[in-house]
Structure 1
Amino acid sequence: MRRRERLTGFLIIFILLTFSAYSNSMNVGGRMLQPNHQSNSNNQTYESNNNFEDRKISKKSDINYKLDSKEKTSLETETINKNKDSAKTDLLNSRDSKIENELASKQDNRDLKINNHREENNNDGKEESSEITFAEVERKPLIKRVKVHRVKSGETLWDIAHQHNLNIDSLIGANNISNMNSIKPGQEFKILPIKGIIYRVSPGESIASIASKFNIKAETIMKDNNIKDSSKLKIDQNLILRGAKPEFSYQDRLDQKFMYPINTRITSYYGPRWGRIHEGIDFAAPMGSPIRAVSSGRVVYSGWASGYGYVVIIEHQKGLRTLYAHNSKLLVRSGESVGRGEVISRSGNTGNSTGPHLHFEVQVNGRPENPLNYIHR
């Protein structure tokens, strides 16, 4: 029994020892393995983290590269488009500018043509066509193409003539110049479009007689003055005579002095009157008073003239005439020679007259001038 008890005790002890040893071995093995497992786990985690970061960096690099490539491509595309747009805009602007310049040039030419034609028609207020040609402008009478020059300080007649490619004769033949050596700033002179003179038609004159007087062709006078019917020439009509020279010179003006045609008071002077120019002076002359020639000369007309009534015209020398109007009776005939102081008519109230009086004119180169510059008592 005791032996069995002993064996049982030994068995129990062996079992306990074995179990204890097994337990210890298990605990030791567990503690040994745990650090290695943790190390491996940490290593794996570190490697995993490193790989993740590398992947993140790689992805970022890829993304950045892709973004840079897209931005670069977008920038290049935008630059190309801008260049194309700029080139297209420049082309359009150039084309538009060219079109605008052509339109502006056409408009300028049209405006210039219209303005030139309106100036030639002396601004008569009528609407003009834009299709006026220079040939049509050239057909305008020369008298309507006369310009005006306003004298500047220091200018002389010779300066003005040279400036407009004319000569002194053309200035004298178109203007009333009493003193060639004394012109004033602001004074105005007519400038002819050609070399010649302005001639005013007197009673009894015709195209043929004027042409013969100045030795020019009648056809030239009619063409330059746009006269289609020579029989319709009017008294006091102004003509431009191409190439003609003034008959009465500056020196002639200084030497010539006239007597009074009648010794009475002057009732109306030369100059503006009733909205127009009074081209002579009026003397009080009771009906039938004797009228005398102011100087010797030849009677070039004696008869009726519209507006003047019965009139006498005397030529004292080439370019210088005197006119006596509104007479009641004429005592001389055309072609007769008269002497200074000779009675040539009797005063009256014929023609456009408001009462008996003498209308007296001095005509120089076919135009009336102030008689007071030529007559003295």
Structure 2
Amino acid sequence: MRGAAASPALLALFALLTASGCAVVPSSVRPSDARSSAVPPIELAELHEPHPELELVSEPPVPSSRTHTVAPGETLYRIAVNHQLSVEQLATANGIKDPRTLSVGQELVIPGAARPIPVATESSPPPARPPSTSSPTASSRGPLVSSPSRRPAGRPLPQKPPKPVPETKGTLDWPLRGVLYARFGKKGREPHDGIDLAVPVGTPVKTAQEGEVLYAGEQRGYGLIIIIQHSARLITLYAHNRDLRVRTGQKVRRGQVLAMVGESGKTSGPQLHFEVRVDGKPVDPLDYLGALPSS
């Protein structure tokens, strides 16, 4: 792999790169306004409170049961409001530190329990009320909206299993911290063999793992690129650079600066196009990258 002569493997790789290329960045996407793009940066999902217009208060609370079984569509916030409690009171009484750990069928202790105030949920439309034979005063209170129906104890609703974490997760480091606005797969009708990270021009690009520079130069569509071989099967590619800081055949360490982000090649804005290939075939880099860098 050393020297100017191109190996058959490198020539085959260039053929694949020429066939696939890199999807063009929309002209409206720039690092300055990348946060408003269609695909947001990778962030922890935020907890959303229910819409206030879906809450219907009925009768004043009266003493009732001291447990509550979590039904589909319910959140800690909804349950707390339903029982006239604050989220902190309900979480403390049940030793809950993260509201996202709440699961369907879970039994919650309701401190100082009062009769629940029914709350409408988006997942369960209000059932029809049977004709009432009580006094006109009762009928003037308005319709009651119940919580979702519950299954008998011991028969929780089936839950969709979470997506398993690939064994390769964490094999590679992020080459930089930027706005992820183009993912692996397809971009429109064109294949997209990597991910695109929007960052300012001149941002340092670092190698995802130690290895050897298979190629450092210019490639049609990709602009100034660097290809690093980490093992007999695994390579990474860094494209659209402004300038290169390594040369073909050079050994590099993990986290070493390879280049500076630019706008070379087929792109309409400064970005890093990052690819991971196994046995010459592109794979989703997010299945290999570990935690985001702090800076």
TM-score scaled by length of structure 2: 0.44
Q: Report 1 or 2 for greater relative contact order, CA contacts < 8 Å, sequence distance ≥ 6.
A: 2
More helix by share: 1
TM-score scaled by length of structure 1: 0.35
